[in-house]
């Protein structure tokens, strides 16, 4: 498939980290995630005007710029029905201000090994989704962290 060229043109296994937003399972390259943190108070993030830049949190002495994925990819009423214990995926890249990127998600699962050739490219043109694949019988949306951070 043409999508394999995005991953070096080979069909080597790739490790992805799966996570949930509402009823949908997503994944991202595991190697791009530096850590997973619990968020005890996400009220300031939920009140932010722009879910793509929902604010900055401090974690382990580092600043993390948060993308509020439940508001970006979830339903419009999501802020009223947020989960009690959201997680923050902290990526190993920083923005121009030295802040790490972080994605607020509902829950984080485990890493899985997948093959790039199993990725089905999206039917519609989208910059944030690499495609869909099946992992353990579940339909999983593979997000492209590079385009979300740009």
**DSSP code per residue over 17-32:** EEEEETTEEEEEEGGG
- Split at pLDDT 50, 70, 90, the class of 127 is confident
Whole-model pTM: value is 0.81
For 95-114, what is the mean pLDDT?
Answer: 91
For 68-83, what is the mean pLDDT?
Answer: 68
Q: What's the token pair of residue 71?
A: 């508001």
User: Is the Cβ–Cβ distance between 51 and 68 less than 8 Å?
Assistant: yes
Least confident stretch, 14-18, 35-39, 71-75, 131-135: 71-75
Three-point CA angle 20, 21, 23, nearest 5° = 85
For 105-110, what is the mean pLDDT?
Answer: 91
What residue segments make up the domains of the chain, in order of their start? 2-149
Q: How far apart are CA 128 and CA 121, in angstroms?
A: 12
């Amino acid at each position: 498939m043409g999508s394999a060229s995005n991953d070096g043109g080979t069909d080597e296994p790739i490790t992805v980290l799966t996570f949930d937003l509402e009823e949908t399972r997503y994944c991202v390259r595991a190697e791009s995630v530096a850590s997973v943190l619990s968020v005890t108070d996400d009220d300031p993030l939920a009140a932010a005007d722009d879910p793509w830049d929902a604010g900055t949190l401090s974690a382990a002495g580092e600043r993390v710029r948060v993308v509020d994925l439940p508001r970006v990819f979830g339903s419009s009423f999501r802020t009223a029905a947020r989960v009690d214990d959201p997680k923050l995926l902290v990526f190993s890249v920083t923005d121009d201000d030295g802040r790490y990127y972080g994605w607020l998600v509902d829950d984080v699962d485990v890493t899985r090994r997948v093959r790039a050739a199993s990725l089905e490219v999206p039917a519609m043109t989208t910059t944030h989704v690499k495609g869909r694949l099946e992992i353990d019988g579940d339909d999983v949306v593979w997000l492209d962290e590079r385009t979300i951070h740009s």
